[in-house]
């Protein structure tokens, strides 16, 4: 585990957990940790139920970030185009999509697309579409900054080799830009995982939806949502660790 991840874990262990303990001791709330206690049958069953939503969270985030990267790259390329229509489309798309709350977009896609386009799709597909659209303007800005950060001398060297603009972009500019923006893309993937919790509102059985269902049956919201916080914390720390390892490998 890298230093930042270790520092985050240490902060949680030394600050957050004691605070929860002190708050619990100073209030009249009767804690019911048995609901997620792995030493009893009920706790094991509940933990298994909560963790069963992990695969949907990961699949949803991976697929959504993949499509948002593709859309974002296309949008960022439009910003450098000499075509005025494409430039204005880039500006309009970015400003409009960034102004729409993610939750609203999820609801609109899930309930609006079937009516407007006569399509039938699952909550998972609606979540992928909505999250990809909402994240793509931010990915586009990340790509734009990375592309602009590539030295002009690299592009001029490509021209001297007889490469056309598409070859220069795909062989010279884009690979270098990806190395530059990799930390930002890693942060966007983490942000995507957190945004995926909003898809629970349309019934996708990811982590947050599973926690909501368990709260309804067990009536222990504080304990269950605390476990949910720990699930996201561990998941994001693990992903952060591997993103930083990948970043270091690409820099070498």
Q: DSSP for 41-57, please give it.
A: HHHHHHHHHHHTTHHHH
Q: Is the dihedral of CA 14, 15, 21, 25 positive or negative?
A: positive
pTM, entire model: 0.83
Residue 161: phi, psi to the nearest 5? -85, 0
pLDDT 10s digits, 47-101: 999 999 999 999 999 999 999 999 999 998 887 777 788 888 888 898 999 999 9
Tell me what the mean pLDDT of segment 206-220 comes to: 90
Mean pLDDT confidence for 142-154: 83
Q: What angle (nearest 5°) sits at the alpha carbon of residue 122, between those of residues 120 and 128?
A: 110
- Domains of the chain as residue ranges with CATH: 56-149+179-251 (1.10.3720.10)
Q: What is the mean pLDDT of residues 132-141?
A: 94
Closest among 49, 38, 32, 33 to 212, alpha carbons compared: 49
Share of residues in the chain with pLDDT > 70 (%): 86
> What whole-number distance in Å separates Cα of residue 183 and Cα of residue 20?
32
């Amino acid at each position: 585990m890298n230093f930042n991840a270790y520092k985050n874990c240490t902060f949680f262990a030394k600050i957050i957990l004691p605070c929860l303990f002190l708050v619990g001791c100073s209030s009249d709330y009767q804690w019911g940790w048995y609901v997620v206690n792995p030493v009893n049958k009920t706790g094991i069953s509940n933990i298994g139920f909560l963790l069963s939503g992990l695969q949907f969270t990961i699949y949803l985030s991976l697929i959504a970030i993949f499509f948002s990267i593709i859309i974002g790259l296309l949008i960022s390329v439009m910003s450098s185009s000499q075509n005025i229509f494409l430039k204005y489309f880039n500006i309009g798309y970015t400003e409009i999509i960034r102004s729409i709350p993610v939750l609203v977009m999820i609801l609109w896609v899930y309930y609006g697309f079937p009516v407007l386009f006569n399509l039938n799709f699952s909550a998972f597909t609606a979540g992928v579409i909505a999250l990809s659209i909402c994240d793509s303007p931010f990915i586009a800005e990340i790509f734009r900054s990375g592309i602009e950060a590539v030295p002009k001398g690299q592009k001029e060297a490509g021209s001297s080799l007889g490469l056309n603009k598409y070859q220069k972009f795909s062989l010279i500019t884009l690979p270098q830009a990806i190395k530059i923006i990799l930390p930002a893309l890693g942060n966007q993937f983490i942000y995507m995982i957190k945004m995926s919790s909003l898809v629970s509102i349309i019934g996708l059985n990811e982590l947050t939806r599973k926690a909501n269902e368990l709260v309804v049956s067990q009536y222990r919201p504080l304990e269950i949502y605390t476990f949910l916080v720990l699930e996201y914390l561990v998941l994001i720390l693990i992903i952060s660790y591997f993103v930083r390892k990948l970043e270091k490998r690409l820099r070498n």
